[in-house]
Structure 1
Amino acid sequence: MTYLDFRSDFLSRPCARMAETMAKAALSPGAFGLRNDPWQQRLEARTAELLGKEDALLFPTCTMANLAAMIAWTRPGDTVLGDATNHLATSEAGGHAAVAGIEYRGLAGTFGMSPLAEWQAASAPPADAQRASVRLFALETTHNRGGGNAIGGAHVAAVAEVARAAGAHLHLDGSRLFNAAVALGEMPARVAAGASSVSVSLNKGLRAPSGAMLAGPRDFISEALRIRQRLGGGMRPVSMIAAAGLVALENWGEVVADHETAARLREGCRDLPGLAPVDPPVPTNIVLLRLAPCWGGPEAFCRRLSGEGVLAIPFGADLVRFVTYRDITRSAVDQALQALAHLANTHERQDDE
């Protein structure tokens, strides 16, 4: 069976120009130093420019970039403050605790956004030496578990102001920041302006095979280089990865196509029995469906859906996640909607019997 795979946008394939540029880079002379590769240097300079930061550094993954940022901004025993459903807290294997030696304190929020008063109260200086100090705030845009909600520059800047008042920095997990920029109609640098540091993935909607970037002040990136090496992320050679990243950054606006197919999927599910699309304030390329109890849970639903030739992932107690990317065309969405409709209507008839 051939599947329509909505599990993640990191399944996207490079465009022809990206593949050609990677092949060209593969034949270029190698570089010995950790930042000597000309392709890497161009990628890091372009990333810093796009994000409005002094410098940037190539990483194997956004998870490692996030971890390096946490290590660089904190000391063991410190606290990171952020939404309880941030990727940092839910999906990075506890690296903040196991490697950085810091705790993560989760705030209640809606679609990845918590009221400023919550940030202020949670970051108040400790009354005595028995409590850990909050040294870092963390935001995520787009917000994965918030249904792909795009959090914009105004909110990032407001949270950053609270962080500064508390003597802390703000790290922005911008794995899908370019999706946020397109959805909000803001330039990437505007979205990231308030953050002390920002990470972005190259291998999701931007279609590079791998890689992520971390951007921030020059001295911060110098420290991140040392941390990256300590974490085993000092890759060489990197010309092919960097070349793909350069092409990806030329075409970041094209993620709008993924937002359009996601909107088509979301709207097409609206009238299906037992399925309720989640509507984030600023949607992008992630679609969450809330399941009625009759489905028996997300795992059971996804198993049945795979039998219809469509792959999605369980995403909580009653949620299933779909992610669109360039390989998911309008036709693919329509086929998926047919499969969902067949599954939902068949399930409804069985419930009525």
Structure 2
Amino acid sequence: MASARGSSRRVPDNESSIAYVQMDGLAVMKMIKHSHEESTGNMEVAQGALLGLVVENCLEITNCFPFPKHNDESMDEEEYQLAMMRRLRRVNVDHFHVGWYQSADVGNFLSLPLLESQYHYQTSIEESVVVIYDTQKSARGFLTVKAYRLTPQAIQMYKDNEFTPEALRNLKIGYESLFLEVPIVIKNSHLTNIMLSELADMIPEEEGTKFLDLGTASVLEGQLRCLMDRVDELNQEAIKFNRYQQQVIRQQQDKHRFLQKRSQENAARQAKDEPPLPEEDLNKLFRPIPVPQRLNPMIVSGQINTYSQHISQFCSQSLAKLYITQALQNAKEGKSAP
């Protein structure tokens, strides 16, 4: 997993104000190339380091390079990153580590390893961000590149290393306050902009106006399937927590009955002028039930929220296209029928 130990600097712990992220077209294309190579080859998640500089309230990302694969045991990841940054510095390229990137599939990037990696990055490199590139949506013509940073509540949660309901309630943290999205601006050189303008003019008019293209249908279908899986997983977590609450209530009732019985026995012994029974440690008789960790349900809730937002984004256009094409198909079949 991504590590921030390859950084060559340490920044203060105070909160910085990164208003937006500016990515060079070269860095974006290298990230896209790496992500699609990994997704088409072995279906692994692509990860890499982001290099750049902080200019006032802007984080400029000017270059990137991929992390070595986990199955290559002969290569040390930390030494590899340091060697890459040393070589880039020799050729006068920005070599400061400012974050990392990861590929995603229809928005399923929120996970426990990602939270832990970003926590280590932000505690060692305060301005660092994680850039998420969605391969499936981009392959369908919807470029999806987003930058995220952990909120102060999420950082405090990991510092405390407490994921119980009480701790999360005291921090007032939920899935909606785990990450803060930072706007991304993609900057190209003037020559690149001229080339893109010429390429846009070269596209035939009929190729650029396919308003009834159903390319969003498969993306929407994949998101709906993932949403159903996450809802089932969240339901299982809710069942576990309800079972824990029932066990706690049952244990409290057993404690109450035990104390009542002990008080009645002591009252009877006192009436016979006998010494009362010695007090026993209730924690030894009734062992505390371990509280289930709430971090995983919170992550699943965040995934459900992400899928819901993406689905609502696509529904207005995808469902309208599906109904239109269905009506055209029915009309065509009606005409062709004898």
User: TM class, shorter-chain normalised?
Assistant: under 0.3
Asked which structure has the greater RCO (Cα within 8 Å, sep 6+), the reply is 1
Structure number with greater Rg is 2
User: Is the helix fraction higher in 1 or 2?
Assistant: 2
